[in-house]
Amino acid sequence: MTLTHWTPEDLTARVGEVMTVYAEAMGYPVEVARMRQGFVVGHAQFEGMRAVAVTAADDRLLGFGYGYLGKRGQWWHDQVSQWLSPELYDRYMTDVFELVELQVRPDAQGNGIGERMLTELLDDAPGKTVVLSTPEADESASRAWRLYRRTGFQDLVRDALFPGDQRPFAVLGLER
């Protein structure tokens, strides 16, 4: 396995593969994920964008992650901001690296790929805080939850509903 830092051009060049991994990891139909490709391409142009990928020896994409500096006027930033108190907003969302995606193919999970990608993404990332959203799950059974807890992420919002997804999500934050 090889971990690589991706440029915005790398991310957009492999967006089809990225969305396939996204669909598999999130349990979405591939068609739904493909409809969201444009968002990823747009995100690649945001200030502070950083991306990483892990590939197998045959260059098959096993996992990817990316984020950028969050700002008012960005869809996810504005969704989360409405759920936070003014104090939490000031603390977590004014100089924030938004971890948009950290996804590993289900058949590659459990090998430390997610943690390697998270560490690489956050090393030298801009922002004094990191914020992410993840589907609510049994925290003891979910690898993602265990990773986020082990690396210091705290609850900011629980059971949040984003437009277009019926599953509840948690919003987690990390002060650095």
The whole-angstrom distance between residue 125's C-alpha and the CA centroid of its chain comes to 14
Tell me which residue of 81, 79, 77, 61 sits closest to 69, measured CA to CA: 77
| Residues 81-116 pLDDT 10s | 999 999 999 999 999 999 999 999 999 999 999 999
- d(CA 3, CA 48) in angstroms, rounded, equals 20
Confidence of residue 141 (pLDDT cuts 50, 70, 90): low
What confidence score (pLDDT) does residue 2 get? 97
Is residue 139 predicted with pLDDT exceeding 80? no
How many other C-beta atoms can be found within 10 angstroms of the C-beta atom of residue 112? 13
Q: Which residues are tagged catalytic?
A: 148
List domains and CATH numbers for the chain: 2-175 (3.40.630.30)
Residues in the chain: 176
pTM of the model: 0.94
Distance CA 160, CA 80 (A): 9
Q: Residue 148, Cβ neighbours under 10 Å: how many?
A: 24
Whether pLDDT at 72 is above 90: yes
How far is it, in rounded angstroms, from Cα 18 to Cα 12? 9
Query: What pLDDT shows up at residue 166?
Result: 86
